A and B are shown apart, each in its own frame.
Chain A
Amino acid sequence: MPVPTANLPLPRGALSRRAALRSGVAATLAASRVLAPSLFVGCSLGIPPRAPTVRIGLLHSQTGPLAIGSTSLRDVELDAVERFNAAGGILGYAIDPRAPDTRSRTELFPKRATTLLDDGAVALFGCWSSGSRKAVLPLLEERDRLLFYPVQYEGNETSRNVIYGGQVPNQQVLPALDWLRSGPGGERKKFFLLGSDYVYPRTTNFIVRKWLAGTDAGIVGEEYFSLDTKDFAPVVTRIRESGADCILNTVNGAGNIALCAALAEAGIDPAKVPLVSTSISEDDLRSMPAAHVAGHWVLSSYFQTVDTPANAAWMAGFRGEFGQDRVFGDSMEAAWCLINLWKAAVEEAGSFATEAVRQVFAKGIGFDGPGGRMTIDPATQHATKYFRLGRVRPDRLCDVVVSSDGPLAPDPYPQVAFPGWKCDWTKGGLEPGPEVAIDG
């Protein structure tokens, strides 16, 4: 028979239930006092603090024919964002970059942009061709968001929703024509215009025709090719027959490889008939044999060989992250400047809101970039840019032959081509002139 234990006296020194409970409650209260701050209000439990996030969209083609150049722009922008975040973000917010793939297809740009804006992107950076930029414009205006566009283009456009960071013709082609016609440029009088068949080459060459019309120089030929053209031998024959002393090249993409090969095979001497290209960067030159391109000329605002401490520091920083064999081009530099300008504008505005940022740009804001100072012109929201003409070296980098003394003011509507057209966002915006038909 079991012995009941409930009412037996406790042995000496043993803890009674009441005493145990009392001690337990006291211990629990003491523990609660210590643990409460971390268990309840302001709970951290050692979880590292995480900054709130603001999203931006990087709109670049990462596959397809435009991928090589566009991917470099994405890398530059990611590098910039990582540096911003490492330094504490912008206004205390970490920047969350999203980079969908537009697959080198114009129709995908607005779709990807829509997704980015739906996901809360406060600004977009990117686009490549004029077609891609024009495709996202209606969306930007509808949602009132800013696009930072880093590529040189034909002008003839001003939007309140785009900050244009690339060169327009009056900062690139027109100063080049003046120099080519001068003594140091070889006093060239016979220009042959070659271009890909889309809006940028046709508009640029239209401006060139108008510009040269008032001079003693002339155009001895003008031809356009689809982007996938690989046979340039017939046109090289026609160039030779025309007696041209300069070829102004607005061909874009891989066609330049075939064009340079055809010129080299035909024995065209760059010293006598140089190919002056507007859309070739150091990235493109990598794909061409040195013998085909050395001695030809490239128009740009920035070259990798620009000898400034800012450029050296930028390249070293980027290469430390992405590899020592990376090369740098004009659009990469523009992309770097634009994203830094956006940061400066947001910080000055104290807000990511589009209108607040735009108001800062309306005051005129600048950034000392690797290629020199870039300022956004409040009237047109285009960048002031250096004009530089480079000669391709055997190592496929470019020596700067001519450079403007300082950044040139942008003029998206050169009056010689678009008379009466003006834009000044500080004084009412766009003033349209008479209709202009651009024919090739």
Chain B
Amino acid sequence: MPSTATPSNDRSRRAAVNRRRASVTIATSIDFTPSVPPVILTARTPPMFSDYSWYYEIPTTTAALLMVAAFVGFYWVGAVIVRPILRMFVRRAPGLNDLIGYILSCFCVFYGLLLGLIAVTAYQNVESAEQNVTREAAALSALYEDVSRYPEPHGQNLRWLIRDYTRYVIKYAWPLQQQGIIPEEGTIRAEALFDRLLDFQPSTPGEEILHAEALRQINHFLECRRLRLHSVKAGLPRAMWIVMFVGAFFNILLCWMFDTRFLTQLVLGGILAAYLGMMMYLIVDMNQPFRGEVSVSPEAFELLYKRMLED
């Protein structure tokens, strides 16, 4: 069949483009002076109030101090402003101070239990994410070993793809996960690996066994990968956060109602508020397994990639 590709096929389009270019050149001669790049996708200023992601970029110590300071500060400000109003009710009813003390004790037990359970849940989330990451890296490592026994060039092609995936996870996926973003391009690499593995047609019984094992490993790897991606957005539900913060507020409210000397109020209430702040910090920090300084690291993938490069 003769080809119909001719320069003239494009002639009218090119002529139109030439005409447009001519006009563009004239138009842009005014603003040709190098200017600010046109596309700026991320600004320096973090959106402090619309998004709390900036919190996870704060160094651990600063974040802990900030949370404690917020709780203690709130308590102290309330002690100065709200406490005199609340104390009036307490003083009018003799014996109410003892009752408040009793209620505060009960409340602290229930609230402490709640916080403890939530902290354990958050910790388990982190641990589970860490286990998924380790399992994913282990499955990848086993797969790498399996395909290294494939005849060439299949083995080499598959090794390249596994290395490519591992490198992507370390260099590109992890920073995105740390921002709470689910990385997308890893899926392309995983698909490419799966496709390439399926391309291989075993020709001996030994290759058949090896191929079956490689397929089992890749399925396990894909499962762990899906779990890792799922944990990127994992976190406590909004209702739980509301219960926690409302509980903390009631705790502080009861302390404000307690009728003691002012300085005692500041010191004892401050200690309680500081501890509440510490607990909140702990839960917030562990809430998202891949975010913050204390989070799941890509170490398992880094060790694997280092070994792959040494091969």
Stretch at the interface among A67-75, A180-188, A259-267, A365-373: A67-75
Q: A286 touching B185 by the CB < 8 A rule? A: no
Shortest beta-carbon distance, B311 to chain A, in Å? 8
B43 within 8 A of A: yes
A228 within 8 A of B: no
Contacts A122-B37, A157-B10 given; does A67 touch B21 at CB 8 Å = no
Q: Which of A49-69 contact B (CB under 8 A)?
A: 49-50, 52-55, 62-64, 67-68
Q: B167 touching A322 by the CB < 8 A rule? A: yes
> In the complex, what distance in Å separates the CA atom of A159 from the CA atom of B266?
75
Shortest beta-carbon distance, A57 to chain B, in Å? 12
B237 within 8 A of A: no
Residues in B neighbouring A399, C-beta threshold 8 A: none
> In the complex, what distance in Å separates the CA atom of A122 from the CA atom of B32?
16
Q: A141 touching B17 by the CB < 8 A rule? A: yes
Chain B interface, number of residues (Cβ within 8 angstroms): 67
Chain B binding site: helix, strand, loop or mixed by DSSP? helix
Q: B66 touching A435 by the CB < 8 A rule? A: no
Q: Which of A116-174 contact B (CB under 8 A)?
A: 120-122, 141, 144, 156-160
Stretch at the interface among A91-99, A298-306, A332-340, A384-392: A91-99
- In the complex, the chain A residue whose C-beta lies closest to that of B193 is A63
Contacts A324-B309, A356-B32, A418-B7 given; does A55 touch B41 at CB 8 Å = yes
B131 within 8 A of A: no
Shortest beta-carbon distance, A226 to chain B, in Å? 11
Question: Could you say which of B3, B42, B163, B192 has the most chain A C-beta atoms within 10 Å of its C-beta?
Answer: B3
Residues in B neighbouring A355, C-beta threshold 8 A: 24-25, 28, 32
Q: A435 touching B263 by the CB < 8 A rule? A: no
Q: B37 touching A351 by the CB < 8 A rule? A: yes
B38 within 8 A of A: yes
Q: A71 touching B192 by the CB < 8 A rule? A: yes
> In the complex, what distance in Å separates the CA atom of A323 from the CA atom of B161?
11
Q: B42 touching A53 by the CB < 8 A rule? A: yes
Q: B7 touching A436 by the CB < 8 A rule? A: yes
Question: Could you say which of A99, A421, A429 has the most chain B C-beta atoms within 10 Å of its C-beta?
Answer: A429
How many residues of A sit at the interface, in one of the four size bands?
A: 35 or more
Contacts A24-B266, A323-B163 given; does A96 touch B32 at CB 8 Å = no
> In the complex, what distance in Å separates the CA atom of A96 from the CA atom of B36?
17
Residues in B neighbouring A202, C-beta threshold 8 A: 3, 5
Contacts A52-B44, A82-B171, A435-B7 given; does A287 touch B24 at CB 8 Å = no
> In the complex, what distance in Å separates the CA atom of A43 from the CA atom of B58?
11
Shortest beta-carbon distance, B230 to chain A, in Å? 22
Q: Which of A67-112 contact B (CB under 8 A)?
A: 67-68, 71, 75, 82, 91, 93, 96, 98-101
Q: A436 touching B42 by the CB < 8 A rule? A: no
Residues in B neighbouring A101, C-beta threshold 8 A: 188, 191-192
The 0/1 profile, CB within 8 Å of B marked 1, for residues 428-439 of chain A is: 111011111111
B202 within 8 A of A: no
> In the complex, what distance in Å separates the CA atom of A435 from the CA atom of B7?
6
Q: A144 touching B24 by the CB < 8 A rule? A: yes
Chain A binding site: helix, strand, loop or mixed by DSSP? loop
Q: A43 touching B48 by the CB < 8 A rule? A: yes
Stretch at the interface among B113-121, B150-158, B274-282: B150-158
Residue from A20, A286, A351 within 8 A of B35 (CB atoms)? A351
- In the complex, the chain B residue whose C-beta lies closest to that of A431 is B18
> In the complex, what distance in Å separates the CA atom of A241 from the CA atom of B228?
61
Residues in A neighbouring B62, C-beta threshold 8 A: 45-46
B46 within 8 A of A: yes
Q: A17 touching B41 by the CB < 8 A rule? A: no
> In the complex, what distance in Å separates the CA atom of A350 from the CA atom of B163?
36
- In the complex, the chain A residue whose C-beta lies closest to that of B45 is A43
> In the complex, what distance in Å separates the CA atom of A287 from the CA atom of B14?
40
Q: A100 touching B188 by the CB < 8 A rule? A: yes
- In the complex, the chain B residue whose C-beta lies closest to that of A202 is B3
A359 within 8 A of B: yes
Question: Could you say which of A17, A91, A356 has the most chain B C-beta atoms within 10 Å of its C-beta?
Answer: A356
- In the complex, the chain B residue whose C-beta lies closest to that of A289 is B152
> In the complex, what distance in Å separates the CA atom of A120 from the CA atom of B48?
24
Q: Which of A401-425 contact B (CB under 8 A)?
A: 413, 418, 421
The 0/1 profile, CB within 8 Å of B marked 1, for residues 193-222 of chain A is: 000010100110010000000000000000
Contacts A50-B44, A120-B39 given; does A62 touch B192 at CB 8 Å = yes
Shortest beta-carbon distance, A139 to chain B, in Å? 13
Q: B34 touching A350 by the CB < 8 A rule? A: yes
- In the complex, the chain B residue whose C-beta lies closest to that of A64 is B195
A13 within 8 A of B: no
Q: Which of B5-31 contact A (CB under 8 A)?
A: 5-8, 10-11, 14-15, 17-18, 20-22, 24-25, 28
Question: Could you say which of B7, B39, B157 has the most chain A C-beta atoms within 10 Å of its C-beta?
Answer: B7
Shortest beta-carbon distance, A23 to chain B, in Å? 10
A349 within 8 A of B: yes
Residue from A45, A197, A320, A350 within 8 A of B66 (CB atoms)? A45
Shortest beta-carbon distance, A373 to chain B, in Å? 26
A363 within 8 A of B: no
Q: B195 touching A75 by the CB < 8 A rule? A: no
Q: Which of B56-97 contact A (CB under 8 A)?
A: 57-59, 62, 66, 76, 80, 94
| Other contacts beyond A67-B195, A355-B28, A429-B17: 17, CB < 8 A | A2-B94, A17-B262, A21-B80, A45-B58, A50-B44, A53-B42, A54-B39, A63-B195, A156-B7, A287-B153, A325-B159, A355-B32, A356-B35, A428-B18, A432-B7, A434-B8, A438-B3
CB-CB nearest 3 A-B residue pairs: A350-B34, A435-B8, A439-B2
17 contacts between A and B (CB under 8 A): A45-B62, A45-B66, A52-B40, A53-B40, A53-B42, A99-B185, A100-B188, A286-B152, A325-B156, A352-B37, A352-B39, A436-B8, A437-B6, A438-B2, A438-B3, A438-B4, A439-B2
**Interface residues, chain B, CB within 8 Å of chain A?**
1-8, 10-11, 14-15, 17-18, 20-22, 24-25, 28, 32, 34-44, 46, 48, 54, 57-59, 62, 66, 76, 80, 94, 152-153, 156-157, 159-161, 163-164, 167, 171, 185, 188-189, 191-192, 195-196, 262-263, 266, 308-309, 311
